[in-house]
A and B are shown apart, each in its own frame.
Chain A
Amino acid sequence: TQLLEQSPQFLSIQEGENLTVYCNSSSVFSSLQWYRQEPGEGPVLLVTVVTGGEVKKLKRLTFQFGDARKDSSLHITAAQPGDTGLYLCAGEDNNNDMRFGAGTRLTVKP
């Protein structure tokens, strides 16, 4: 079983639509990271959330950390084709190892 469960697994939307993807766990994390990965490339860090209830904005992307620090969400407003990619969440487990979810594969059609 995954330490971090991401949903949905796949998401295909039209340009201009809004979307939310989720990262859930039964474990408490001191921080969670969101990465985006494009084909043929390594994951690129988008944001780190640390405080329960924290909201961070990165242009059209809004990241939220759950109050209990067990879950996080990523909301994209007015999605663009350039947002297409694999969105991964990651958190440190009890051994301070960084573990990843399986990711949400987003496709934004023009």
Chain B
Amino acid sequence: EAGVAQSPRYKIIEKRQSVAFWCNPISGHATLYWYQQILGQGPKLLIQFQNNGVVDDSQLPKDRFSAERLKGVDSTLKIQPAKLEDSAVYLCASSLIGVPEAFFGQGTRLTVV
């Protein structure tokens, strides 16, 4: 069974530029999460989708971050414009509905300079 796929693995951008991350969850997983993990910390939930609907985006900085999951499968997370403090690993995870166990991708390491 294929795991959660994320791309790119690494990205370096200058502050005020835009960036987008892509995630393809495990087939059949209706729930998809985006997490931000700053170095030395645990993952922080940014947004949770169930199919193509947003379940929770209360911790998403909506002035600069946006995410979509148009067809209930793949998802993209965008940052525009990026700030230095956005430097982190962005993790995508997926799970079956009603099941707490999540499967994570390898993450995208973003460095904002």
Contacts and interface: CB of A to CB of B under 8 A. Distances in A.
Interface residues of A, number: 27
B72 interface: no
Interface of A: 2, 6, 30-31, 33, 35, 40-45, 48, 88, 90-92, 95-103, 105
Given A40-B106, A41-B106, A42-B93, A102 B42 contact: yes
- Count class of interface residues, chain B: 20 to 34
Interface of B: 4, 33, 35, 40-45, 48, 55-56, 58, 91, 93, 100-107, 109
Contacts of B43: 43, 88, 100
20 contacts: A30-B100, A33-B100, A33-B101, A33-B102, A41-B106, A42-B93, A48-B100, A48-B101, A88-B42, A90-B100, A91-B100, A92-B100, A95-B55, A96-B55, A97-B55, A97-B56, A98-B45, A99-B45, A100-B43, A100-B44
Contacts of B42: 2, 6, 88, 100-103
A45 B10 CA distance: 23
Contacts of A48: 100-101
